[in-house]
Amino acid sequence: MTEDVILANARLVLADETVTGALVIRNGEIAAIDQGATVSRGAVDCEGDYLAPGLIEVHTDNLERHMKPRPRVAWPLDPAILAHDAELASTGITTVFDALRVGSIPTGSRAPYGKYARDLSSKILAMREKGVFRISHFLHLRAEICSETLIEELAEFTPEDRVGIVSLMDHMPGQRQFSDISKYQEYMSGKYGLTQAEFDDHVESLYALHARLGADNEAAAVAEGKRLGAALASHDDTTVEQVEVSAGHGVRLAEFPTTVEAAAASRDAGIAVIMGAPNVVRGGSHSGNVAAMDLAKAGLLDILSSDYVPFSLLTGAVQLGQEWDDMARGLATVTDAPARATGLTDRGRLAPGLRADLVRFRLADGHPVPLATWSRGRRV
């Protein structure tokens, strides 16, 4: 048994409203919620700050940034994973689906995509068992359809591996995220320094791989996702026809649809629409696709993902709350909605009996400032 922790005089972000009240933490769970500004003896006075459920991150490439902090610099895995874990905790994220690419593309270019997911996920799971993490980690396998090794790499995972999401990633240039192939060249040249000839060779090899293996890989990824008990996600759907294919696969999450039409079709099919929080914060897509805020204004945005900037998750959710004049609705895109979409029934809301995953923050000039994070009742 542990002593109760009472967080009082807080603006509690509930499922559909924000109220002033107090929350009691007991044995890692939310034990009670009371309304009113009273600060009882021994309670922590939150001074009117927001107290929200801990944020749930469904798609982040942040770990890869810690693994390779500079070009041609490989950082040791243990400190890279721990730095990633600590950074997310500092931004109010208490549950993360670590996005790991599955499917390598061995080529002669400067941008070979080597296999790494199985070894890295084993390291993450072993560290979790040792209790060294601040927050809760699940796996998100990004299945590269245009790959020579996808099927054999997926076969290395089992239902015991905490794989929560399998996404179908078709990055063949000239469609989806990179319908404008010049944007793809800009991305690849900026990241890998490819010459024109190297870029042309890379694109040609991708087209050949896709023609030879794309259909079989997509079918296998769908089957493997179901075997692992994971939620299936589409990626960068652009047309209504692509959404219809996704729905036929049993997809539950639409990651970053690139057009209003695809987002609307996803919603009609009962597929939750995920957009990037950096898209919200920046005011648009870096790839020239639909702006997340435009989808929010049209009522077509369900979930935010920090994608490549962890701090953007809280910032983007608050911006949505301000746009909608409903902070509870804005925060739900990073708490309740992702929890429901991924089958996590023990978190995502402030309610008795759920995990005491919490973030306390206040606004400074309209921007959120995270002050404290609790994971299962422990301040991290």
| Residue that wins the pLDDT comparison between 200 and 91 | 91
Instruction: Say how far apart CA 45 and CA 288 lie, in whole Å.
Output: 45
**Does an H or E element contain 293, and which?**
helix 292-297
Predicted pLDDT of residue 110: 52
225 in a structural domain: yes
pLDDT value of residue 1: 53
* 153 assigned to some structural domain: yes
What pLDDT is attached to residue 179? Answer: 63
pLDDT averaged over every residue in the chain: 92
| Contact (CB, 8 A) for 260 and 295 | yes
pLDDT more than 70, % of the chain: 92
Contact criterion met (CB below 8 Å) for 9 and 46 = yes
Comparing CA positions, the residue from 211, 221, 167 lying closest to residue 341 is 167
State both tokens at 348.
Answer: 């995502």
Most confident of 82-86, 112-116, 166-170: 82-86
Identify the pLDDT of residue 76: 95
Range 29-39 average pLDDT: 97
C-alpha Rg value of the chain to the nearest Å = 21
Q: What is the pLDDT of residue 72?
A: 82
What gap in Å lies between CA 64 and CA 184, rounded to an integer? 20
> Given this model, what pLDDT does residue 340 score?
98
Give the span between the Cα atoms of 177 and 361, in whole angstroms: 34
Go through the chain and tell me how many residues it has.
380
Query: 305 lies in which domain range?
Result: 54-347
pLDDT tens across 141-167, in order? Answer: 999 988 889 999 999 999 999 999 999
H or E element at residue 134:
none
Higher pLDDT: 209 or 372? It is 372
Position 298 in a domain: yes
The span from the CA of 281 to the CA of 319, in Å, is: 8
CA gap 197, 6 in Å, rounded: 63
Sign of the dihedral through C-alpha 288, 292, 296, 301: positive
| CATH number, domain with residue 94 | 3.20.20.140
102 Cβ contact list (under 8 Å, min separation 6):
117, 141, 142, 143, 144, 150, 153, 154
Residue located via tokens 């369900």: 302
pLDDT at position 342: 97
Q: Compute the average pLDDT of residues 94-112.
A: 78
366 residue type, one letter: G
Is pTM beyond 0.95 here? Answer: no
Task: Note the pLDDT of residue 180.
Answer: 66
Q: What is the pLDDT of residues 255-312, one digit of tens each?
A: 999 999 999 999 999 999 999 999 999 998 876 789 999 999 999 999 999 999 999 9
Structural domains of the chain, count: 1
User: Could you tell me if residue 113 is inside a domain?
Assistant: yes
Residue 361 lies in a domain: no
* Distance from C-alpha of 201 to C-alpha of 211, rounded to nearest angstrom: 16
Instruction: Tell me the percentage of the chain whose pLDDT exceeds 90.
Output: 79
Sign of CA dihedral 311, 317, 321, 327: negative
Nearest-angstrom CA–CA distance, 176 and 193 = 23
pLDDT of residue 150: 94
CA distance 19 to 13: 7
How, if at all, do strands 50-53 and 55-60 pair? unpaired
Q: Is residue 205 part of a domain?
A: yes
pLDDT, one tens digit per residue, over 319-366 is: 999 999 999 999 999 999 999 999 999 999 999 999 999 999 999 999
* 91: in domain: yes
Where do we find the tokens 């429901």? 340
Bridge partners for 7 per DSSP: 23, 44
